[in-house]
Every structure is written in structure tokens, then in C-alpha cells.
Amino acid sequence: MNTDTHPRDSAASPPGTASGAGQDPGHGAPVASPQKAPYAGLVAATPARDADLEIRGVRAHVRVYGEPAAPHRIVFLHGLRGDHHGLEPIVAHLVRRRPDVQVYVPDLPGFGGSAPLRDGVHDIPGYAGWTADLLTALVPEGDAVLAGHSFGSIVAAATVAASAPEAPVLRGLVLVNPIATAALAGPRRVLSAVTVGVHRLAAALPERVGTGLLRHPVFTRVASVAMVTTDDRDLRRWIHAEHDRYFSGFADRRTLLEAFHASVGTDVAGYAPTIGLPTLLVASENDDVAPLPSQRVLEGLFADARLAVVPRVGHLAHYEAPDAVAEQVERFLAGLDGAASRRDPRSSSTAGTCGSAGTTASAATPRASSRRWPGCTRSRC
């Protein structure tokens, strides 16, 4: 694994690109002029370095946040059409709260600085298999937390559900704005159907024209406007600028179409019943992509989960309320730490605490059965 440590600019430029430059490395996506970045100072002050690995024969770009000596690790997967930049506000707030944590944010294959998969399809099984290999490369000894936002929540859940006995044993799972119901079956099914139609049209057109449609600034802005809920004008402008900069950083049409169809036809609920890890679900009160009622149902499908709700924001909690998300993750980590400190070395089970839901996976299997402890419920401790 090759690493490169360098100072941060205004939390804006893609890796390897000078501030204000016009291209994303590797994929040639246009980059808009930066707007006032509300979290720029905090992100710039967060220790960070780039790491390039070879996973399944192709380049995987990972941004690593936190001090290299920090003992605790989180691997955090971004959402569809994004890259590591989208998670920087959450990560910066979390590292400030927990300096003992390093956070690895990979660009998923075919997005940002990571090459597309050489073999296979960019669907959930493809991404989950790649993530499993990434975990083996990054945290071979295990004892890490896997996290995902939006589409990344599906990939993270699928990775845990399909874990092989020899895979690194994870401490916990964090899903932010998890996709509890597939988009084509959710409350925005009409808008989702229209979006599917656009992607099918892009697939039918000549490749250059179809790719241009998928990267068109109007398409990006419509998607951005549909998801933003904040009334803060400066924050709205910055969110739109972030989408302008990174929403089109996909490698090619095939990659995006495969990932998109996986995103609208799959959800976390299909994997939840097989997951025994302590799990934190961070939902948003006004999220109409992953609505709160469906999150409450999803919580009940896990053996060992707690639902936290961020008030007054929608699906873009990573942009609109990153500190609130980081606070919930901090509490979850504290619960895992408390459970670990009470672990009986002769037993694979632990005496639980609120926030951890009381169980860590045993070395025998990453999907150990769970139990709940007095004083903790699925919704509140």
C-alpha cells in the first residue's frame, strides 16, 4: 500500500488536483468553482493522507483520516455517484471527537480515484466482494467498524451478511441514511421510475452521447435540488457545488448504469436478518429517500440494532448535519469500547452497554448471535 501525506486545502479539490483545477483524476469529470465551504477549516485541520492499493488487480484509492497511530479503525463507504469527499464533513467531526480513531474512506470501484472492476459487475455482490478484499488489505487483524452512507449502506450490509469465516472480524456496523426500502418500492417510486427511464435512455444512446446525458449539469442539479432540505442558503449553494464537482466522477457509462440499477433495486432489509453485529442506524427525520417509518421497520429486522434519528434534515445528513451524525457514531463507539472492556476472555459474549447493543462478534464467526441487555430497547437506551 502506497501512501502520500500532504496538507489539505479548502476541503474542495479532488486528490492529486490543484485547488480550482478543472478535472477529477482518472475519470475526467468537470469540476465547478468552489463555493464557501462551511466545514473547510475543520476538514483542513484533520490529518489526512492518500493510500493506493491494488484490489482484484486494479487501483483502489483510499483517503485515510486521523493520526496514523490512532488504534481504532473505521472503514466508511460513500453513496452512489460520490467519492470520499462526500464523507469528509462527518469524518472531520468524528476525528475531532475521537482522536483515537482512523477513518478509511475508499472510492468505490469506478468512482473518484478508483478504477472500475476488471472482472464482474458493479452490482451489490460485486461491490461487497471488493469491500471484503479491501477490509482484508486494510485491517487484516479485524477489530474495525464498517460504515456506509446511502448506497454505501447496502454495500456494507451485504459485505457483513456474506462474510466468510476467515474474513476480518468486525466490531460493529454503522449505516447512515440506510436504504431501508428499494427506491422502486419506496415513497418516491414515481420519481425513481423517471430516473430509471433517463438511465435507460442513456444506455440506448451512442456511448458518448449517453455518457454526456448522465454527466449533464442539469441532470446533476435536478438530483441535488430534489435531495437538499436545508433552508440555509449558503449551505444549499455549497451542497449544489459539491454535487457539481463530484457527482459526475464516474469512470464510464457501464460502471454507472450497473451501480445505479443495483441501487434502485436493492435495499438493506434483505441483508439485515442475517447480521448479528452490533449495528447503529442513523436516520434523518425528513428523509424521503429512506423514510423514517421504514427505518423503524428496518431496525426490527436486525438481531442487534439501535436507531438514532437526526432531526430536521433529509437524505443529505452527511452535508446538512455531519456533527449530529458524528455524535451518534461517537456514542456507538463508546458503547463498543465499554463492551470490550467487560469482555470475559473465556467467552465470546460480552456484558453490554447502551449504544453497543451489547455484543461483539466472536473469532469463530463474524455473525455471532446477539442478545439484548436490561435497560436497552431497540429504539432507546
Within 8 A by CB and 6+ apart from 364, the residues are 165, 348
**CATH code of 171's domain:** 3.40.50.1820
What is the reported pLDDT for 187? 64
133 within 8 A of 55, measured Cβ to Cβ: yes
Determine, yes or no, domain membership for 79. Answer: yes
For helices 253-265 and 207-214, give the axis angle rounded to 10 degrees: 50
Q: And the C-alpha cell for 6?
A: 500532504
User: Is 293 within a domain?
Assistant: yes
pLDDT by residue (tens digit) across 249-297?
999 999 999 999 999 889 999 999 999 999 999 999 999 899 999 999 9
Comparing 371 with 284, the larger pLDDT belongs to: 284
| Residue 166 to residues 91, 141, 145, 234, 369, Cα–Cα distance (Å) | 29, 11, 17, 48, 17
Amino acid at 174: V
Q: What is the CA radius of gyration of the chain?
A: 19
For residue 303, the one-letter residue type is: A
For residue 19, what pLDDT is reported? 33
Comparing 18 with 156, which gets the higher pLDDT? 156
Query: Of 104, 4, 1, 15, which Cα lies nearest the Cα of 53?
Result: 1
**171 domain-assigned:** yes
Higher pLDDT: 304 or 119? It is 304
In a domain, 352, yes or no: no
User: How many C-beta atoms lie closer than 10 Å to residue 208's C-beta?
Assistant: 9
Amino acid at residue number 45? A
Boundaries of domain holding 163: 2-21+39-185+267-341
Kind and range of the H or E element at 4? strand 2-5
Question: Is there a domain that residue 373 lies in?
Answer: no
Residue 350, domain member (yes or no): no
Decide if 164 is inside a domain. Answer: yes
Residue type at position 100: D
User: How is residue 135 annotated by DSSP?
Assistant: H
pLDDT at 165: 85
Amino acid residing at 122: H
pLDDT at 217 over 50: yes
CA triplet 262, 267, 271: central angle to 5 degrees? 115
58 part of a folded domain:
yes
Q: Is the pLDDT of residue 370 over 70?
A: no
Question: What is residue 91's three-state secondary structure?
Answer: helix
Phi then psi for residue 5, to 5 deg, are -105, 130
231, with CB counted inside 10 A (0-12, 13-18, 19+), is exposed
C-alpha–C-alpha distance, residues 232 and 264, integer Å: 29
Do residues 318 and 87 lie in contact, with contact meaning Cβ atoms separated by under 8 Å?
yes
- Number of structural domains, the chain? 1
Q: Are 83 and 76 in contact (CB under 8 A)?
A: no
User: Cα-flanking dihedrals φ and ψ of residue 11, to 5°?
Assistant: 65, 25
pTM for the full model? 0.82
What does the pLDDT average to over 196-219? Answer: 95
> d(Cα 54, Cα 205) in Å, to the nearest integer?
33
Phi, psi of 321 (to 5 degrees): -150, 55
